[in-house]
Amino acid sequence: MKILLAKDAGYCFGVRDAVDLAYETAEKHGDVYMLGHIVHNENVVNALDTAGAKVVDTLDEVPDGKPILFRAHGTAVDTWGDAQSKEMNIVDATCPLVWEIHEEVKKLESEGRKIIIVGDHGHDEVVGIASQVKDPIIVATPEEAQALRKTKRAGVVSQSTQTIENVQEIINIIMTKVFDLRFVNTICFPTKRNQTQIKELAKQCDVMIVIGSFTSANSKRLTALAKERNKNSFQVTCADDIKDNWLKGAEVVGVSAGASTPDNIIDEVLTKIKEIGNVPEEIVYG
């Protein structure tokens, strides 16, 4: 058996920096608070909680003087304003590529365009992008795009972790409804790289394993991309989820992971596959 590990499997730099910053801040201040999970991965959240990085629902729950960490995928304008007016100790872990989306969407609005955001309803990153402009429309699926009314001028951006396929399909529909359309492709480059590697690997491998939490929309999207190309594709959250019979007779096994999957879980999964296949080392692909 040969194991091909996608080069860019796992944490993107935005998530890696945010997690590191959460650990550093907790160490420095004893604890740090976050409005929701820093990544959609239970193992990371639990490990951070032990280290002193706590999840709260509102700013009011943050004890006086303690730092509040704003996560990689951005924070709504109102929440920033509230934290600033309370003179809270803000630690900003917003990914620079998310800041870029905020800038782009504001530019499109300043051109007098109706804003359309291609992204998941209720996702924190989408909520943050939407808060930058007035009354944007969120479109998650081609069906929702079909239901849009005709508009003279519109500008479109996308959530950073969307698949190119979903965005393309939605843009094709929007093109039939908007006379003057500007689309800024804000899918981030780590996402594009990860998606490309998974699509290529899934075609070359007998079995494709995608590691990621089922609470992560990004990981589920990656698994769907793999499944479209290889029906022997499976999403696992950890090594224990792997079934020996999936790998029976497989000559090439591909492995990748969502942007919220930590290195130690990828290592555990690789170790298990190596044991099953009696393989000493994986080969890095990409």
- Residues binding ligand SF4 (CB under 6 A): 12-15, 72-73, 95, 97-98, 160-161, 188, 190-191, 259
Q: Is 42 one of the catalytic residues?
A: no
The residues facing 147 across adjacent strands are none
- Asked if residue 185 lies in contact with residue 158, where contact means CB atoms within 8 angstroms, the answer is yes
C-alpha span between 88 and 60 (Å, rounded):
10
Nearest distance in Å: CB 16, ligand SF4: 8
Nearest distance in Å: CB 13, ligand SF4: 6
Nearest distance in Å: CB 64, ligand SF4: 30
Nearest distance in Å: CB 104, ligand SF4: 12
Residues 6+ apart with CB under 8 A from 216: 39, 40, 41, 258, 259, 260, 261
Helices 217-229 and 189-204: crossing angle in degrees, nearest 10, is 30
Q: What are phi and psi for residue 269, nearest 5 degrees?
A: -65, -45
**HSE toward the beta carbon, residue 250, CA cutoff 13 A:** 28
Supply 238's token pair: 């950890």
Supply 269's token pair: 């999964």
Active-site pick, 125, 165, 169, 200: 125
Nearest distance in Å: CB 159, ligand SF4: 9
Which segments within the chain are labelled E, that is strand? Answer: 2-6, 32-35, 53-56, 67-70, 89-92, 114-118, 137-139, 151-158, 178-183, 207-211, 233-236, 252-257, 283-285
- Asked if residue 198 lies in contact with residue 173, where contact means CB atoms within 8 angstroms, the answer is no
The residues facing 285 across adjacent strands are 6
DSSP string, 173-188: HHHTTEEEEEE-----
Which active-site residues does the annotation give?
125
